[in-house]
Amino acid sequence: MNDSQVNKLRDLKNRERGSGQQYLQKKNKRPTLFSVTSGKGGVGKSNFALNTAIVLSEMKQNVLLIDADTNLANLDILLGINPRYNLSDLITGDKFLNDIILRGPGGIDILPGSSGVIELIDIENEVKNKLIDCFRSIEEKYDLIIIDTGAGLTPAIVSYVINSDEVIVVTNPEPTSITDAYAMIKIISSKNPSIHINILVNLVDSTKEGDDVFDKLKLVAHNFLQFPLDHLGNLPRDSNVSRAVSVQIPFIIKYPRSAVSNALRLSARKLLRGRIASDSTRQNLFSRIFEKRESL
Ligand SMILES: Nc1ncnc2c1ncn2[C@@H]1O[C@H](COP(=O)(O)OP(=O)(O)O)[C@@H](O)[C@H]1O
Ligand SMILES: [Mg+2]
């Protein structure tokens, strides 16, 4: 083949795929995976995950938000939406991820949760392979995937968390919440010593209160686990959160100038700046979750 024939062939291939360069970049792309978790329930994970997803989308990131809270899947309630399908339809039915994923506010995509997510971890190999293929086919579309995992130390939650690139542990200043956050950090760090853990202190009455909570956690994690923690920020207690929840509109949209929205923007920016560069050679998210699950 001479040079001009080679070029023609290359042009043809590039036309099939869009630009050749774009194709290569897309093919190697893997989204960064953030999981939002906590030791104790009701500390503000879902509100943080949802509003952060919207802020990051405003920062030109393609974001998928997954509701993986198996006890209290409630992103749909926060948004006032009634999803037609959820993950269990993918497992038991003939639905694909594109049928299930919804477009949410601010341009984010949402994968609604269900109690079926629990089964996600214990399903047959054939179905696992279908899920892995489905996720592989959509992963390239996203820069970031945020998983709202729910609270506590169930095997499913631990599996999501230890397979993430970045973990955000949400706590509030109450001693029970801090103790449970520490228990979570202890497990996560022992299962994946190279993971990056960020602490978000929610419901603070002052910046100092939040900083003190972080310092306490950092000290015990350093002394007893020799594990470093990063402070993602503090979110103030703000009545606009419950007001926004009751009208089912994310607070960042309903009250963009509120104290909690301003603080959340700072944390989101920090998260984006500090994110671990995604390693394109790593496996697809769900294949990692299923495979690591065996060793739990
Ligand atoms: N910064 C905040 N200020 C005031 N109320 C908050 C704040 N964050 C969360 N809340 C309230 O706490 C409740 C639990 O929040 P949610 O995000 O559902 O927690 P989780 O997902 O951890 O269970 C919500 O009803 C919300 O109104
Ligand atoms: Mg929740």
State how beta strands 196-204 and 63-67 pair. unpaired
pLDDT band at 3 (very low <50, low <70, confident <90, very high): low
> In this structure, is residue 105 part of a structural domain?
yes
Phi, psi of 102 (to 5 degrees): -110, 150
Phi, psi of 142 (to 5 degrees): -110, 145
Any bridge partners for residue 32, and if so which?
144
> In this structure, is residue 16 part of a structural domain?
no
> In this structure, is residue 248 part of a structural domain?
yes
> In this structure, is residue 221 part of a structural domain?
yes
Q: What is the pLDDT of residues 188-238, one digit of tens each?
A: 999 999 999 999 999 999 999 999 999 999 999 999 999 999 999 999 999
| Cβ neighbours, 10 Å, residue 277 | 7
Of all protein residues, the one whose alpha carbon is nearest to atom 12 of ligand 1 is 44
The ligand placed nearest to the CA atom of residue 244 is 1
Q: Which structural domain range is residue 124 located in?
A: 30-291
Note the pLDDT of residue 217: 98
Q: Give me the chain's average pLDDT, please.
A: 81
Å from CA of 71 to ligand 2 middle: 9
Cα–Cα distance measured from residue 107 to residue 104, given in angstroms and rounded to the nearest whole number = 6
* pLDDT of 8 strictly over 90: no
Ligand 1: atom nearest CA of 237 is 3
Note the pLDDT of residue 96: 80
Å from CA of 50 to ligand 2 middle: 10
Report yes or no: 276 and 166 within 8 Å, Cβ to Cβ: yes
Cα–Cα distance measured from residue 55 to residue 43, given in angstroms and rounded to the nearest whole number = 20
Least confident of 2-11, 36-45, 102-111, 253-262: 2-11
Q: Which among 66, 169, 242, 249 is the best mutation to test ligand 1's pocket, defined by most ligand atoms within 8 Å of the CB?
A: 242
Check the CA dihedral 148-200-78-258 and report its sign.
negative
* Helices of type H across the chain: 3-17, 20-27, 45-58, 75-79, 87-92, 97-100, 116-121, 125-139, 155-162, 175-191, 207-225, 239-246, 251-254, 259-274, 285-293
With a 6 Å cutoff on the Cβ, whether 46 touches ligand 1 is yes
How many separate domains does the chain show?
1
Å from CA of 42 to ligand 2 middle: 7
Å from CA of 295 to ligand 1 middle: 33
> In this structure, is residue 24 part of a structural domain?
no
Cα–Cα distance measured from residue 169 to residue 196, given in angstroms and rounded to the nearest whole number = 11
Q: The whole model's pTM is what? A: 0.85
> In this structure, is residue 20 part of a structural domain?
no
Q: Which residues neighbour 25 within 8 Å (Cβ) at sequence distance 6 or greater?
A: none
Q: What is the pLDDT of residues 119-158, one digit of tens each?
A: 455 566 666 677 777 777 787 889 999 999 877 777 777 8
Report yes or no: 75 and 45 within 8 Å, Cβ to Cβ: no
The ligand placed nearest to the CA atom of residue 41 is 1
Report residue 251 as tokens: 């607070």
- What's the mean pLDDT in 13-18? 39
Report yes or no: 225 and 235 within 8 Å, Cβ to Cβ: no
* pLDDT of 173 strictly over 50: yes
Q: Domain containing 210 — which CATH number?
A: 3.40.50.300
Identity of the amino acid at 9: L
> In this structure, is residue 6 part of a structural domain?
no
> In this structure, is residue 12 part of a structural domain?
no
